[in-house]
C-alpha cells in the first residue's frame, strides 16, 4: 500500500506531552496533519510542538482542561480557529490511581471518570458536531487492558471499560446518519514507565511508536472500521470484542433459581455464540436460542 497521508487534516491529541500521546502527535504530524498538542504540562507540550515544527510540520500548544465541558469545547474551537477544521481527535490523556476497592475514595472515582470517560465526551462532542456537519472525521479513544480487570485499580478499569460502549453507540449513529465518521478504541501497551509490565514481551518491542502506527491508520481516510476496540502493543494488533456465548435457555418455561443452578456450566461456557453489532442484534441471538430450546417461535 502507498504511504498513508494526513495532509490537509487537523488533529487534536490529548495527553500528548510525553509517552504514547507524544508518539501519536509526532506520527500524525509526520504524515502531514496539523496537530494541537494538548497536555496539562505546558513545557512538555511545547517540547513536542518544537519537534514537529523543526521537522517542517504545523502544531499548536494547548493546556485546555479536557476534564471540563468548557475546556473540551474551547480545545476544539482552538483547532478550528488555528487550522480551519477538526478532522481527527485522539483522546489519550489519562491517569492511574491505586487503591483496594473497599478503600477507594469518592474523589478518586470522580477524577478518573472525568479524565478518561467524561473527557471523551467533552472533547468528542464538539468535534463530532464539526465532523457531522462536514461529513467526515476520525475519533480514537484510549482504553486499557484494565477492562479485563486488575487488582487495586477498580476506578481505572471501570472508566476505561465505559469507552467501549460509548464508541459502539457513536459508531451506530454514524451508520444511521450516513456520514464518514469512524470512532474506534485502542487498548495500548507501551513501556513508557519502568513499572509498566510487559513480560513475557521483550520490553524493547513495547514502544510508543508501535502504538502510534495503529492510530495513524485509524486516523486516516483509508480506515475502514468503526465501533471497534484494538489491543496494540509491541508488534501485535488484535481486536478486542464483546461476545455472547450460546448459553442456555429453558425455552417457553420460566426460569427459576434452581434451573439456573442446574445449568450454570452451560450458561458460563464460552462455546459458540456471536459478537453482536448492536443491542438489537443481541436480541436476535437471544431469541434464536429461546426458539431452538422451545422448538418453535415464541415471538
- Considering the candidates 121, 122, 156, 217, report the single residue annotated as catalytic: 156
Beta carbons of 34 and 13 less than 8 angstroms apart: no
Beta bridge partners of 292: none
Beta carbons of 135 and 179 less than 8 angstroms apart: yes
Sheet holding 88-91, edge to edge: 59-62, 34-38, 10-14, 88-91, 136-142, 180-189, 229-233, 236-240
Beta carbons of 77 and 126 less than 8 angstroms apart: yes
Rg, Å, the chain Cα set: 21
- Active-site annotation holds for 122: no
Nearest-angstrom CA–CA distance, 298 and 296: 6
Nearest-angstrom CA–CA distance, 57 and 34: 7
Enzyme catalytic residues: 156
Amino acid at each position: 500500500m502507498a504511504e498513508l497521508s494526513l495532509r490537509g487534516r487537523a488533529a487534536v491529541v490529548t495527553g500528548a506531552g510525553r509517552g504514547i500521546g507524544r508518539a501519536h502527535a509526532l506520527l500524525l504530524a509526520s504524515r502531514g496533519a496539523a496537530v494541537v498538542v494538548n497536555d496539562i504540562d505546558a513545557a512538555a507540550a511545547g517540547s513536542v510542538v518544537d519537534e514537529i515544527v523543526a521537522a517542517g510540520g504545523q502544531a499548536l500548544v494547548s493546556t485546555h482542561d479536557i476534564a471540563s465541558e468548557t475546556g473540551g469545547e474551547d480545545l476544539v474551537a482552538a483547532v478550528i480557529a488555528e487550522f480551519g477544521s477538526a478532522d481527527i481527535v485522539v483522546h489519550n490523556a489519562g491517569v492511574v490511581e491505586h487503591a483496594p476497592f473497599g478503600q477507594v475514595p469518592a474523589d478518586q472515582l470522580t477524577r478518573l471518570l472525568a479524565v478518561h470517560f467524561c473527557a471523551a465526551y467533552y472533547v468528542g462532542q464538539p468535534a463530532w458536531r464539526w465532523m457531522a456537519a462536514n461529513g467526515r472525521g476520525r475519533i480514537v479513544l484510549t482504553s486499557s487492558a484494565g477492562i479485563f480487570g486488575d487488582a487495586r485499580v477498580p476506578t481505572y478499569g471501570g472508566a476505561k471499560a465505559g469507552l467501549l460502549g460509548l464508541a459502539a453507540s457513536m459508531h451506530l449513529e454514524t451508520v444511521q446518519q450516513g456520514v464518514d465518521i469512524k470512532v474506534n478504541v485502542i487498548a495500548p501497551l507501551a513501556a513508557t514507565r519502568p513499572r509498566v509490565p510487559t513480560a513475557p514481551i521483550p520490553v524493547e518491542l513495547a514502544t510508543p511508536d508501535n502504538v502510534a502506527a495503529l492510530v495513524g491508520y485509524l486516523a486516516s481516510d483509508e480506515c475502514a472500521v468503526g465501533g471497534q476496540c484494538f489491543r496494540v502493543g509491541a508488534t501485535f494488533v488484535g481486536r478486542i470484542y464483546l461476545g455472547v456465548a450460546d448459553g442456555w435457555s429453558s425455552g417457553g418455561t420460566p426460569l427459576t433459581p434452581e434451573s439456573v443452578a442446574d445449568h450454570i456450566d452451560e450458561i458460563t461456557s464460552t462455546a459458540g455464540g456471536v459478537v453482536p453489532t448492536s443491542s438489537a442484534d443481541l436480541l436476535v441471538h437471544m431469541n434464536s436460542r429461546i426458539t431452538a430450546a422451545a422448538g418453535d417461535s415464541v415471538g
